[in-house]
A and B are shown apart, each in its own frame.
Chain A
Amino acid sequence: MVPSSSNAGIFTNFSLGIFTLLLFSCGEEPTIQSYVIPSEYEGPVVTWKLPSDWGENPDLSGPMAGSFHVKSDLGPVGRIGIMPFRESVSTLDVANMFGKEMGYGLLSEDDLSELAQVRTIDSREFEWIRLVDKAEVGSMRTVLLALYRNEEETWLFPFIGDQPLINEQMKNFESFLSSTTLRAGKEKIRAKVPQPAPPASAQHAEGPTWDIPSHWQKAEASSMRLASYEVADKNGSRLDFSVTSFPGDVGGLLANVNRWLGQIGMEEVKENEIEKYVTEIIIDEQDAQLVVAEGEEQALYAAIIMIEGRSWFFKISGDLNLAQLEKPNFLSFLNTVCFH
């Protein structure tokens, strides 16, 4: 069986063709691919759509998932935030965080039942708490708290501003709440957004870790201070923030509170009066105390926690007005402290 010359021609041309194709088909043009896969992301999802007359605050602090303001002719006014909590917190705890500042004293469940209501926005139920300023006569300052509970997590949306502003922005606030996507991750939420690295001293072998609000400026640490930060505003007002740790209880709660009250020009208190300044809080799943002391010009907020026989102090103090502004950031910061 011999191939005829015409068959041979076809075979030869076919072989050459295949060979040429092989040579020229090696290169593949790179392209942008797009595909859909089942969800792999295990972290929390927090998204929103901002009303057109709102802006984002650049000084977003670590535990705050979002921080916004209302644009006005006079510049940014009001402050709106998204603050997730790792563990479920009681509505009373949240109300008390802000209530003291607004001159409410320590709120009870009965007080809360008068202040709180449930509002449904797009099939989501929010606990709605409006706190007006009782500390200062004639003040229009109002705190509107919207709490949303999703599985084990609590999302707090505080709107701080003057009452007319809050009333005027109510539709925007509601549409903002309605636009949010809030989804807990498979890992417990820490509401973490990329933040400046904690100071080296904070990362020592057995020490805690934390996320510092991005606009707090690092100050010089000392042998006594494990971390030191400064907060300043345009008016030159300043706050000093420090983290210190000592063995033992360093004289006990009363001694520490009185020492701090003295530092901001306030009178000492007796044992039975200490609850005026101290409330119980949870830091990293451990019992801790929060000290809130506000004088005429100076304020001090501190948290004390005892871990394995050592006292840890997280303290911010300085100008009253600036301290009040930074209080949510300080409380959020405490939420990020982790000892394990």
Chain B
Amino acid sequence: MEQKNKKRNTLGLRRKKYAWLVPLSSVKLTLVLLSLSMILVFVATLEQVRIGIRGALAEYFESMFGIWHYPEQFWGGEYLNAIPLPIPGGYLLGGLLIINLTAAYITRFQWTFKKMGIQLIHLGIIMLLVGQLATQAMQEESRMQINKGESSNYIERFHGVELAFSNVTDANQEKVVTIPEDILAKGGVIRTPKLPFKIKIKRFGVNCDFTVTPEDSKRSAISQDVNRGVGHTANLSITEKDEDFSSDGLNFGYLVFELLDGSKSLGTWLSLAHPGGNHWWKESPMLSDLAFQPIRHHGELWGVTLRSEREYLPYSIELIDIENEFYQGTEIPFNFESDIVLNMEENQSRRALVYMNTPLRHAGKTFYQYQMNAAADYTVFQVIRNPSWLVPYIACILVSIGLLWQFSFHLVRFLRKNSTKSQPA
């Protein structure tokens, strides 16, 4: 009896000490948040048709709130469509749910052996939510394309570009200086001791249409200042476009920039980023230099390119062979397979097969079979880096143990009671 009172007293002490958490632990709040989550999922599913998965994720899940317009084609849509409706976003609801559950954990739950199942279940759910938040913040999705018989030691992000300057004067090594998209988007003049010139950003955009115009015709306003490089020689005209969030959308990032040596202008260049990787520019003879526009400066040769954000790896992957199989008589693939050698540090290597649902995991990255072109002899891996990838598994194990504990506890109690009742008088 004394023990029971002590436990209640512990909960009472906690409720007293963290009184400010008590309103946040309300079950009503939990229900409201779960209801709003259902609305969020419903709205985002509708919007996914219009703006694509990436657009819906960015607008509704990776934000504090999103603005939704009632679909025009629904009943009354002609009147209601104009009204912007704020919808609580994934970060807001997820964050509040974590607070709500944590508060409940502290101020409502009895920390007893008997209730350990409930505690584990809630701890698992909190871990799931926190894990998802961490995934959103830390997960990176990239691609790696390898031609058959060749190897690659870098990956490129699906989203986000960088301006890369490479000093190729030395025959053995290249010095690379990269400026990320966030800095380019801010505009202004970029100064860094890593480069012998300053970069004045004139125009930057995440997507555009570009046209090779006849030699004598006037270019569009965006590229009319360009007097060096491919933008000048191919007389490229640029039209700004909104970012295409759809799954098959192709976004050609563009940058118009001037290089300055002190106050002296070295010229104005245009650079375009190919969404499939800048090696694709080589397919177009007129635009092939977009992968490397030469700049000679103070006796050194630099190359400049706007490219998908790139990460070099301390290991490389060599593509030995590729195979793709289709269901008989159809063009529906049932297997894409890449036979690779992973060349690691210290001259170690490992041969592996990467195919659908059987990725290669190495050094915190997972390489999934993504695309393949057997005719052109290349494969593309989707590369995921998610430091919190284990969290959902641990969370599920915790919830399972919690449920098992809770139900077993009740089952044992029920069976005990039953056996006591059924004993003959």
- Residues on A lying within 8 angstroms of B by beta carbon are 1-5, 8-9, 12, 15-16, 19, 22-23, 25-26, 30-41, 43, 45-49, 179, 181, 183, 193-197, 199-200, 209, 218
Q: Are A38 and B172 in contact, with the CB atoms below 8 A?
A: yes
Q: Are B169 and A47 in contact, with the CB atoms below 8 A?
A: yes
C-alpha spacing A25/B303, complex, angstroms: 35
Chain B residues touching A, majority SS: mixed
- A37 and B173 in contact, given A1-B113, A9-B17, A181-B301 (Cβ under 8 angstroms): yes
Q: Are A194 and B177 in contact, with the CB atoms below 8 A?
A: no
Of B98, B111, B216, which is in contact with the most chain A CB atoms at under 10 Å from its CB?
Answer: B111
Residue from A5, A45, A195 in contact with B14 in the complex, judged by beta carbons closer than 8 Å: A5
Q: Are B173 and A194 in contact, with the CB atoms below 8 A?
A: no
C-alpha spacing A36/B174, complex, angstroms: 6
Which residues of B are found within 8 Å of A32, using beta-carbon distances?
Answer: 177-180, 183, 190, 192, 194
- A197 and B111 in contact, given A9-B17, A34-B177, A39-B174 (Cβ under 8 angstroms): no
Count of A-B contacts judged by CB separation below 8 Å: 130
Which residues of A are found within 8 Å of B181, using beta-carbon distances?
Answer: 30
Q: Are B111 and A47 in contact, with the CB atoms below 8 A?
A: no
* B74 close to A (CB within 8 Å): no
Q: What are the 3 closest A-B residue pairs judged by CB atoms, nearest first? A: A30-B182, A49-B299, A26-B137
Q: List 25 A-B contacts (CB under 8 A).
A: A2-B111, A3-B111, A5-B14, A5-B17, A9-B17, A25-B137, A26-B137, A32-B183, A32-B190, A32-B192, A39-B168, A43-B168, A45-B168, A46-B296, A48-B299, A183-B171, A194-B228, A194-B229, A194-B232, A194-B289, A194-B293, A197-B215, A197-B233, A199-B215, A218-B216
C-alpha spacing A79/B137, complex, angstroms: 59
Proximity bits, B287-327, A CB within 8 Å = 1, else 0:
00100111010111101000000001000000000000000
C-alpha spacing A39/B300, complex, angstroms: 15
Q: Are B130 and A5 in contact, with the CB atoms below 8 A?
A: no
Which residues of B are found within 8 Å of A194, using beta-carbon distances?
Answer: 228-230, 232-233, 289, 293-294
* B170 close to A (CB within 8 Å): yes
Residue from A45, A196, A209 in contact with B301 in the complex, judged by beta carbons closer than 8 Å: A45
- A34 and B176 in contact, given A2-B112, A197-B212 (Cβ under 8 angstroms): yes
* B84 close to A (CB within 8 Å): no
C-alpha spacing A3/B7, complex, angstroms: 10
- A2 and B7 in contact, given A32-B194, A48-B299 (Cβ under 8 angstroms): yes
Closest to B297 in A: A47
Which residues of A are found within 8 Å of B229, using beta-carbon distances?
Answer: 194
Which residues of A are found within 8 Å of B99, using beta-carbon distances?
Answer: 19
Closest to A199 in B: B215
Q: Are B111 and A8 in contact, with the CB atoms below 8 A?
A: yes
Of B136, B212, B299, which is in contact with the most chain A CB atoms at under 10 Å from its CB?
Answer: B299
C-alpha spacing A9/B106, complex, angstroms: 9
Which residues of B are found within 8 Å of A34, using beta-carbon distances?
Answer: 175-178, 194
Of A39, A41, A46, A181, which is in contact with the most chain B CB atoms at under 10 Å from its CB?
Answer: A41
- Residues on B lying within 8 angstroms of A by beta carbon are 6-7, 10, 13-14, 17-18, 95, 98-99, 102, 106, 111-113, 130, 133-134, 136-137, 166, 168-183, 190, 192, 194, 212, 214-216, 228-230, 232-235, 285-286, 289, 292-294, 296, 298-301, 303, 312
C-alpha spacing A244/B170, complex, angstroms: 43
Q: Are A39 and B173 in contact, with the CB atoms below 8 A?
A: yes
Closest to A16 in B: B102
Q: Are A37 and B130 in contact, with the CB atoms below 8 A?
A: no
C-alpha spacing A325/B43, complex, angstroms: 72
- A5 and B13 in contact, given A181-B301, A197-B234 (Cβ under 8 angstroms): yes
Known: A39-B173, A194-B232. 8 other contacts (CB 8 A): A1-B113, A23-B95, A36-B175, A39-B168, A41-B168, A45-B171, A194-B289, A200-B214
Q: Are B176 and A35 in contact, with the CB atoms below 8 A?
A: yes
Which residues of A are found within 8 Å of B169, using beta-carbon distances?
Answer: 45, 47, 181
Which residues of A are found within 8 Å of B178, using beta-carbon distances?
Answer: 32-34
Which residues of A are found within 8 Å of B312, using beta-carbon distances?
Answer: 35, 37
Residue from B95, B214, B285, B298 in contact with A49 in the complex, judged by beta carbons closer than 8 Å: B298
